Each structure stands twice: as C-alpha cells, then as structure tokens.
Amino acid sequence: MRSDTCSSRVLHISDVEAFHEQGFVRIDDAFSPDLADQARAILWRDTGCDAHDPLSWTQPVVRLGHYVQEPFRLAANTPALHQAFDRLVGPGRWEPTMSLGTFPIRFPSSEDPGDAGWHVDMSFGTGNPDFMDWRINRFSRGRALLMLFLFSDVTDDDAPTRIRVGSHRAIADLLSTAGEQGLTLRELAAVDFAGTAALPEVHATGPAGTVYLCHPFLVHAAQPHRGRNPRFMAQPPLLPRGGSEANGLPELSTKG
Ligand SMILES: O=C(O)CCC(=O)C(=O)O
C-alpha cells in the first residue's frame, strides 16, 4: 500500500491495479504490533515450546488452528482491512473474518517440513477426505481472497511464503474452460499450476502487522526455515457474503 494513502486507509487505484496484475497487494500496518504480541503469546503457549529456548523447537512446523480470541478477531477486522476488502471485493460482498484458520508456525530447522509444495488454496468440495480432490472454479466459489497475516516480523530468512507473481491469471484461464465443477488440486498439480513455474517469485515479508491480500487463485508455497526467528503467520480465506455456495470474485479470465 502506498504511503501517500496510509492516512485515508483506502487503497490507491494503483494498489487495486497491482492486485489485478500481480495477484496480491501488501497492506502495511494493517493491524497493530501490540495485537500481534498478544496473539503470539497465546500461540507460543499452545506450541508447547519455550520462546526463549531454541532447544525446545524440535519440529520444523507446528500447525495450530482456529483461534477466535479477541486479539485475532481484532487483527482481522481493522478499518484498514475492511476498507481494502470493499475496494477489492466490493461493499456488501464479503463476511467479516471471525477465525484466522490455520497457523503454520515455522521454526528454524535442517529438517524438511514436508509441506512446502506449490499450490492454490481450494475452496469447495473440502468435505472430501483426500485434500487433493478439493476444488476451485472460475468464480472462486466460497472464497473471495486468500489472506496472509504476519504475526511476527518476517524477513527473507524467516521462511516467508513464496508467491508466483501473476500466477492467478494463468489459473483463471485454465479454469475458464472447466465448467461449474472447476478443477481439483490434483488436476492443477498435474499441469504444474498452469505452467507458472517460470514466473517471478516474491516473498511475503514484512513487520508483524503486515497483511497480504491475495487473489484466491494465486499460486504460492511455504519454504523451509533456515533463519533464526520462528515465523507466525495465518492464512485465512475472506469468505463471500452468502455462504459457501456464493461466488468469491467476478470471473477473471477473458478466455472461455
Ligand atoms: O507457511 C506458509 O508460508 C504457507 C503455507 C500454505 O500455503 C498452506 O499451508 O496452505
């Protein structure tokens, strides 16, 4: 988000254009460092690790989930974020976020975390026990945005999420011919996510309180943590108003 728009807390037109071109926009100071501290204190307790003792950090990733306490709800519902949702998704077209979903908390480790593959987050058919059969369709049924909430300072050394810039467009083109039922994660993986491997890659870095608002088709991946500071990040969807059957965003592709 451009600094000249921070005071009004509304995305500048160039931010909205960047979202459509690149598939994401970074919102600085989306929530306060104090809320991040409070949330991290709750999460540290549940990791079973000691924040001050790296010897207690025995796994490369600990996944915690579905926190609804006040620091999480407040962080997800700041005026800056609500205004950004209105600009990107449309007023009255999204639901306030009440749970921040899964936190993959990443610890410095030489072990492979086993969950660092490229993917798109699926949005329906999630009752299927095999997540590779979960689906997305051209209208992004059930998901308006993917959001990355940084609850700790994340530098390039701290396992930031990797993003394939502009990959949402290739996925939209692929989905445009796939009908209402869309495609499964397995089908997308079989074509290397619409051949997006050669696209430029950026990392979701920033101080605690930064949020990346991403197009739901954005191809992204975790990475092993080779640095020093455990990374706390949540990755909830922004849900469309109208429930799981509602379309998340207008169709993006000009094909099909
Ligand atoms: O941990 C990360 O950086 C990303 C994780 C992710 O994309 C996922 O679990 O779906």
Sign of CA dihedral 15, 18, 20, 25: negative
Predicted pLDDT of residue 243: 84
Is the CB of 236 within 6 Å of ligand 1?
A: no
Predicted pLDDT of residue 46: 97
CA 239 – CA 129 distance, rounded (Å): 22
Among 166, 251, 177, 170, which residue's Cα sits nearest to residue 214? Answer: 166
Predicted pLDDT of residue 6: 39
The burial class, CB within 10 Å (0-12 / 13-18 / 19+), for 129 is exposed
Predicted pLDDT of residue 253: 62
Predicted pLDDT of residue 66: 82
Name residues of the chain where pLDDT drops below 50: 2-8, 256
Q: What is the pTM of this model?
A: 0.94
Q: What is the pLDDT of residues 157-187, one digit of tens each?
A: 999 999 999 999 999 999 999 999 999 999 9
Which residues pair with residue 84 across a beta bridge?
Answer: none
Pocket test for ligand 1, best of 24, 132, 158, 161 (most atoms within 8 A of CB): 161
The residue nearest atom 5 of ligand 1, judged by CA position, is: 222
CA 19 – CA 87 distance, rounded (Å): 11
Predicted pLDDT of residue 159: 98
The residue nearest atom 1 of ligand 1, judged by CA position, is: 222
CA 99 – CA 45 distance, rounded (Å): 18
Pocket test for ligand 1, best of 122, 149, 210, 220 (most atoms within 8 A of CB): 220
Is the CB of 194 within 6 Å of ligand 1?
A: no
Is the CB of 220 within 6 Å of ligand 1?
A: yes
Is the CB of 161 within 6 Å of ligand 1?
A: yes
Ligand 1: distance of its center to the CA of 15 in Å? 24
